[in-house]
Structure 1
């Protein structure tokens, strides 16, 4: 569907977990072009590369050229950190015109977008507490730091319409379907807390390939798991990105 079909809305195509490798060169341009044709902007929710290497980031940047007709906004995921050079991934994407958010915010056609990677730690009563060994406290502190990044980004927005982007999930509902044993590593309720203080129209994340596409925060904000493997499996009749419409401010 062309993005000119709904003139009263801003359309966002959201997808995560593309896991680009060097072998993807030349294979994703049609997908990105399709997303750009359907939407006014493209949102990339982390795990954009498979090992976070410069080579993979270069392939991704080249493929994204097919979507250069629309703004592209991204957050990084855990895979983009695997090689210890997330700044290289960020720099290559930025050079290609992608806005990479890490506790920052931006605006597209009057819609504010706040983004951060997020982190793990569990949900609700199952959340890991900062008690005991220093390593546990460091783990919990990382989740708190990412929640603070999200809150900082949300606090910067002054637009009437707002979206939030993460890689890790802020709610348990969109990771259901994954093995119970790994649920605490797929997100954290600490990421939900800023979303309760700063209202948004929707939240997008990835990471949980076998999760559930749609969920909600405690206060009813829709949360969408847009991991590409999940969208491919659960909605085979549609392109593997989630199209979300926001009324024009």
Structure 2
């Protein structure tokens, strides 16, 4: 059991109801048999909290009883996190913290966050004045969380919504790379390469690169509009 691979099925950016039919087809065509399902943010459009249920019902119809872990995206609005947690108690929501998760093949640790950006959007900068400092401080916080999680001696994955490097953003306009990812998060991965088993993120809808290696750590962009399918991650 201790040496068993844990199979994770991962996706993000369903923006339900916008890409719900694509998600339904992706689930139907997927060969991924998960021990854990991960939703890497922007599961609904414009904070439509009720739509989250439709996504979860689809997952449960194909993979009944499989644990689901999730981070929030920019479309799950800041300040609404508690409402998602209350409405969907069966989801393991990760919000700048880590959780030990019991999967079908054993226990792993998921560190999760919306993530950071090198630049907030103009709307974010105007309406969320504390966000610039939050983005600046977050990589250090995530690094600390990974260090704490390492004390469990369990496999660790990092899940964010925003990207963690520019190196897998081919297909996106370079002018918007700072609004898609944080380059400082790449340093977090490098510094914890000995304990991180995988990194999963979304947000880059046009990213042509499914996965890259950062110092032997596999980093996946699982955004549904980019991939068109469910991504299989084994740790």
Task: Please give the TM-score of this superposition, normalised by the length of structure 1.
Answer: 0.75
Are residues 1:241 and 2:198 paired? Answer: no
Are residues 1:72 and 2:64 paired? Answer: no
Tell me which of 81, 92, 96 is aligned to 1:99. Answer: 92
TM-aligned CA distance change 1:141 to 1:61, over 3 Å: same
TM-superposed deviation, 1:23: 9.1
TM-aligned CA distance change 1:23 to 1:222, over 3 Å: closer
2:181 alignment partner in structure 1: 187
1:41 alignment partner in structure 2: 36
Matched residues in 2 for 1:207 and 1:179: separation?
13
3-state SS in 1 of match to 2:153: coil
Matched residues in 2 for 1:80 and 1:120: separation?
16
5+ residue gaps, structure 2? none
1:115 alignment partner in structure 2: 112
Tell me which of 166, 175, 180 is aligned to 2:160. Answer: 166
Are residues 1:59 and 2:54 paired? Answer: yes
TM-aligned CA distance change 1:88 to 1:21, over 3 Å: farther
Tell me which of 80, 84, 102 is aligned to 1:85. Answer: 80
3-state SS in 2 of match to 1:100: strand
Matched residues in 2 for 1:27 and 1:213: separation?
18
Please state which structure has a larger fraction of its residues in helix: 1
2:171 alignment partner in structure 1: 177
Q: Check the 8 A contact 1:13/1:35 in 2, yes or no.
A: no
Per-residue CA shift, 1:91-146, capped at 9, x if unaligned? 323x2x11010122223323221111102116xxxxx9xxxx99998443121343
1:12 alignment partner in structure 2: 8
How many residue pairs get aligned? The number is 219
Q: Check the 8 A contact 1:52/1:89 in 2, yes or no.
A: no
- Root-mean-square deviation (CA, aligned residues, Å) is 3.1
Q: Check the 8 A contact 2:60/2:66 in 1, yes or no.
A: no
Matched residues in 2 for 1:40 and 1:34: separation?
18
Task: Please give the TM-score of this superposition, normalised by the length of structure 2.
Answer: 0.79
Please state which structure has a larger fraction of its residues in strand: 2
TM-aligned CA distance change 1:36 to 1:106, over 3 Å: farther
TM-aligned CA distance change 1:16 to 1:54, over 3 Å: closer
Structure with more contact order per residue of length (Cα contacts < 8 Å, sep ≥ 6): 2
Matched residues in 1 for 2:65 and 2:129: separation?
44
Q: Check the 8 A contact 2:14/2:23 in 1, yes or no.
A: no
3-state SS in 2 of match to 1:230: helix
Alignment of structure 1 residues 210-249 onto 2, 5 Å: 210-211=206-207, 212-217=209-214, 219-232=215-228, 240-246=229-235
